[in-house]
Amino acid sequence: MRDGNRMATNSNVILSDYGIQNEQSDLRAHVCPLVRRVYVYPTAEGRRAIEAGGWTARPAFQAGVAGPTAMGYCVPPFAIRRCVALEVRAEAWDAGGFDETDDTSSKGQKAVRFVAQMILNGLFPLPYALGHLNDDPDRAMQIRGDDIIVDLGPNRVHIQVKCDFRGGDLTLGGTGNLYLQVAERNPLHKV
């Protein structure tokens, strides 16, 4: 049940209207360590997939917190138009240090670092980015929380990064979905 920009869950926990529907990104990258894939799609296509309907909204939880801490839609990756699955070598995943027992902040930080390294190594789908990034990587790529902003000269690309630990292709051992969050609360005040 929605009330303005707040959402009540079945357990009477209030979640704020915060997620894909109001973020200002151009692209989303769901880092899915269990299946060792990064799913990338235009943010607008993720919104469009939710609006098309037929997907289940499900709560998410954090260890040590009573009640849900987020609400989102479980959408199969390829139900999102222009979604691509990027495969990265096993050594990179091992070096990423992903652990399902990490708290949400640690998982998010690791996911952002993973995508930043993909960008710097030319493994992320940004046209003509690598040459420009090599000129001055500190100026060309900024990290702000879950956002990576890449300056491509005449354009800037805002990438929202999410660690979707168990997300991804069912045949690879994932849930078969990506979690597209639309509401949250932050009782542990994690950044």
In terms of Cα–Cα distance, which of 136, 108, 46, 112 is closest to 83? 46
pLDDT for the residue 98:
97
On whether the CB atoms of residues 47 and 100 are closer than 8 A, the answer is no
Window from 7-21, 34-48, 127-141 with minimum mean pLDDT: 127-141
Report how many domains make up the chain. 1
30 beta partners: 39, 162
On whether the CB atoms of residues 165 and 3 are closer than 8 A, the answer is no
pLDDT for the residue 63:
82
On whether residue 48 sits in a domain, the answer given is: yes
On whether residue 190 sits in a domain, the answer given is: no
Kindly state the average pLDDT of the residues 23-34.
96
Q: How far is CA 6 from CA 15, 33, 51, 119, 162, in A?
A: 6, 31, 19, 35, 22
Tell me what the pLDDT averaged over the chain comes to: 87
Kindly state the average pLDDT of the residues 162-175.
97
In angstroms, the CA 19 to CA 17 distance is: 7
In angstroms, the CA 95 to CA 88 distance is: 12
Domain containing 108: what range? 2-184
In terms of Cα–Cα distance, which of 113, 118, 119, 147 is closest to 133? 119
pLDDT at 6 over 90: no
In angstroms, the CA 9 to CA 14 distance is: 6
pLDDT at 189 over 80: no
pLDDT at 10 over 70: no
pLDDT for the residue 137:
60
On whether residue 108 sits in a domain, the answer given is: yes
On whether residue 103 sits in a domain, the answer given is: yes
Whole-prediction pTM: 0.87
pLDDT band for position 1 (50/70/90)?
A: very low
Write out the H or E segment, with its range, that includes residue 96: helix 90-96
What percent of the chain shows pLDDT beyond 70? 85
On whether residue 189 sits in a domain, the answer given is: no
pLDDT at 60 over 60: yes
Kindly state the average pLDDT of the residues 130-153.
70
